[in-house]
Structure 1
Amino acid sequence: MILLMYEPVPDHFTKLKQIAPHHEISWVSTENEAQELIRTAEIVLGNRFFLQSLPYAENLRWMQSNSVGVDLILHQKNVLIKKNIILTCAKGVYDAELAEHALALLLTLFRSLHLLRDEQNTKSWKRHRLPTLHGSRCMIVGWGSLGREIARLIHAFGGIVSGVRNQAQDSLDGDFTVYGSNNFREQLPQTDALIICLPKTSETHHFIGQHELQKLPESAFVVNIGRGGTLDDNALLRQIQEGKLAGAALDVFETEPLPADHPMWIEPRIVVSPHVGRSLEGPAFRWQALFEKNLERYVNGEKLLNVVDYQKGY
C-alpha cells in the first residue's frame, strides 16, 4: 500500500494510480488514521503524521519527505535504519524560490532597503552612498543545487561568486571556485557577502560562528537561507551591535519562532524573514512532480532520487 500523508488533488492522484496500478493508495487526515494505516504501508509520501506513526510501521520500505531538510525526521534515524527504510528528500524542488528569496535579502542589504523603509516611517529624506551587488565578492557556504542556483543569480547581477563544499581540496565548478571546508576561512577577509545554505547536521552546527564572523570585513553582510543553527545567531548579533559587520538578513533561526523578546527584532541592521524562503503552498504542491517521478522509479526498480545518506544527514 502507498500511504499519502496529505489529501491529493485529483490530477495528482490519477497520476499516482497510473504509475502504480497494482498498489492500493490511501490518504489520511488524522494522526490516528496514519498510525493505523501505516501498519500495512510499503511506501509513505509526505511528512505530516509520519514521526507520530513511524513506531507502528511494520512493512515500510520507503519514505519520501516533502522537505529539503530532514533533520527532524533523522531524530529517528536509528529506527529508520533498524526498519530498513529508505528516506528520500525534496532536494531541488524549492531551489528557484529559495534562491530568489536569498537574492532579495542580499539586494535588500546592499541597497539598504530595510533602513530606507525605517527612514520612510519617520518621513526622513536622505541621500545615501550605497554599495552594489555588481562587482561584490560573494561566498556561498553549501554548494549543493540550491547554492549553485544562488550563484547563478548573483553571477547574472555581476557579482563575483565562490562556494564552499564539504571536500578536502579546492576545485572548479564551471566559472566558480569552490573551496574545501578547511580552506575557505582564508578567503573571508576578502568577502563582501557570506550566504549560508547548509543542511542541519551535527557537523554543521555553528559552522559559521564567532571565529568565522570575526574574519569578515566590517562592511560585510551575512545571509542565512539554509537551516537554523548552522550560524551562531548570538555571535552574529554581537558582531553587528559592535559595528564589526554591516548587517544581516536571516530567514532561519536557531529558535523558531524567534522569541518576541529577542534583540534581533529591534536591531535595525538585521532583516528578520520568518522562514518564508519556502513559502506556504498548495494544494497543489510543488513536490507532487518529484513524488510521481520517484514513485515511477521505485515501481520500475530504479535508483531513487535524493536518497538521504544516514551518516551525512542529507
Structure 2
Amino acid sequence: MTAESTDRPTLLLAHTVGPDRGSDLRDRLVDDGLPADRVVAAATPAETDEHAADADGLVVGRFPEGLLKRADSLRWVQALSSGTDHLPTDDLADRGVALTNAAGVHAEPIAEQVLGYMLSFERDLHALARQQAEARWERREGGELRGKTVGIVGVGAIGTRVAELASAFGMEVWGVRRDLDAMPDVVDEARTPDDLHEVCLAADYLVLACPLTDETEGLIGGDELRLLGGDGVLVNVARGEVCDQDALVGALRSNLIGGAALDVFEEEPLPGDSPLWDLSNVFVTPHMAGSTPHKAERWTEILAENYRRLAEGDPDDMRNRVV
C-alpha cells in the first residue's frame, strides 16, 4: 500500500448510490475538503468496475454483485442506510474491511412519522380520512397520548428520538436494548430482550426500531401480539421480517390487537393482493419513513468524517462502525 493511498484514499461512490445522488454527494464531499481527484462517482456498473480495483473506500446503496473479488485495495465500506442486513457483512469481516452505516441520518423523520402514526390511531385520523373520502359525517371520540405507554424495541438513534418525542407528549417510555448501560435517560423503564413479553403487556403502542438479525427475525409473533392486546397498536419501522406477517394479519382480522402502522413488509413493494391493504385497522406506508430533505447533508458529514479517519489510519474510530 502506497503512502498516497493511505494519506489520500480513493473513495468510490458505486452506481447503486444512484447517478444523481452520487454526483451530488461527490460535489458536497469536495466542497467539504476531500481531494477532488480522489472522489469518484460512478453512474454505471461499468464505471464501478473500472474503479473498483483502486478503491480504498466504497459508498453503496445495494452492494454491487461480485465487487469484493475485484476490489483489491478496499479497506472501508459505507452504507447509506442504517440497516446492513443486505450487505455481505461476514465477507467484509473476513477481509478486515471496515463497515459503517448511516445510523442517525434517518432518526428525526422516522421518529416524527412514528409520532404521526400514534396520533393517527389515538385521534382516529386514518378512519376520519376514509370518512372524508366518502363524504360521510360521523363523529368519533378521540383519545390522548398523554399517560399512555410506548414500548420501543431497539433504542438506537431512531428509538432514542422516538423516546424523546413520546416523552415530550407525556407518554411513559419503556425501552428494550441489550446493553442497559447505554440506555438513554429519557427511557422510564429499561428492559432487556428477555423482558419483551413484559413490555408487550405494558405497552399501548409497541414500536419496532431494531435491526434485522438472526435474533430479531420473527421476534414478534402470535404470543407477543396476544400480550399487546385488543387496545394495543404495533408500529413497525424496522424490517418486515422482525414481525411474523401472517400472525399479524390474523391478529388484526380478529381484533386481537387494536391496529398496526407499517412502513416495512416481508415483501416490498407490498403485493396488491395483500390483505393488509384492506384492513380498516392498518395504516400502510411505502417504506418512506426515513425520507427527508436533509439526507444528503447528514450523509456528507458521516462520509467526510470517516474518510478522514481512514486517511489518518484510524479505522477503529470511524463513526457508526458495524464491522
Structure 1-normalised TM-score? Answer: 0.90
2:3 counterpart residue number: none
After TM superposition, the structure 1 = structure 2 runs for residues 23-102 of structure 1, keeping only pairs within 5 Å, are 24-47=38-61, 50-73=64-87, 76-102=88-114
Match of 2:28 in 1: 12
1:62-108 residue CA offsets vs partner (Å, 9 max, x unmatched): 111111101111xx233223322111000111111111111111111
Alignment partner, residue 122 of structure 2:
110
Using the TM superposition, give the Cα deviation of residue 130 of structure 1 relative to its aligned residue in structure 2, in angstroms.
2.2
Identity of aligned residues (%): 32
Equivalent pair of 2:123/2:141 in contact (CA under 8 Å): no
- Whole-Å separation in 2 of the counterparts to 1:298 and 1:15: 19
Are residues 1:238 and 2:277 paired?
no
CA contact (8 A) 1:171 1:179 kept: no
Contact in 2 for aligned 1:139/1:163 (Cα 8 Å): yes
Q: Judge conservation of contact 1:60–1:83 (CA < 8 Å) in 2.
A: no
Give the total of aligned pairs: 304
Structure-2 residue corresponding to 1:312: none
Moved over 3 A (4+): 8-11, 48-52, 169-173, 280-286
Higher helix share: 2
Instruction: State the superposition RMSD in angstroms.
Output: 2.2
Q: 1:212 to 1:36 in 2, by over 3 A?
A: same
**Residues 90-145 of structure 1, C-alpha deviation per residue, up to 9 Å, x if partnerless?**
01111111111111111111111111111112222122222211110110111111
Spell out the pairing of 1:258-273 with structure 2 (5 A cutoff).
258-273=270-285
Matched to 2:130, the amino acid is D
Determine if contact 2:106/2:295 at 8 Å carries over to the other structure: no
Q: Structure 1's 234 and 283: CA in aligned 2 closer, same or farther, altered over 3 A?
A: closer
Structure 1 partner of 2:163: 151
Q: 2:150 aligns with which of 125, 133, 138?
A: 138
Letter in 1 for 2:83: G
- The correspondence of residues 244-263 of structure 1 with structure 2, limited to 5 A, is 244-263=256-275
Matched position secondary structure for 2:241: coil
Task: Note if contact 2:228-2:257 (Cα within 8 Å) is conserved in structure 1.
Answer: yes
* Counterpart secondary structure, 1:139: strand
Render the CA deviation track for 1:265-297: whole Å, top value 9, x for unaligned.
Answer: 011110101001012768945411111122122
- SS in structure 2 at match of 1:214: helix
Change (3 A) 1:245 1:34: same
Q: Tell me, which stretches of 5 or more residues in structure 1 are unaligned? A: 310-314
Whether the 8 Å CA contact 2:146–2:170 is kept in 1: the answer is: yes
> SS state of the match for residue 254, structure 1?
coil
Larger mean Cα displacement after TM superposition, 283-292 or 254-263: 283-292
2:208 aligned with 1:196: yes
Q: Choose the corresponding residue for 2:312, options 293, 300, 309.
A: 300
Aligned partners of 2:174 and 2:199 also within 8 Å:
no
Structure-2 change in CA distance of 1:48 and 1:220 (3 Å): closer
SS in 2 for 1:277: coil
List runs of 5+ in structure 2 lacking aligned partners. 1-9, 15-21
Q: 1:128 to 1:95 in 2, by over 3 A?
A: same
In the other structure, the counterpart of 1:174 is: 185
Give yes or no for contact 1:228–1:254 (8 Å, CA) kept in 2. Answer: yes
CA shift, 1:154, in A, is 0.6
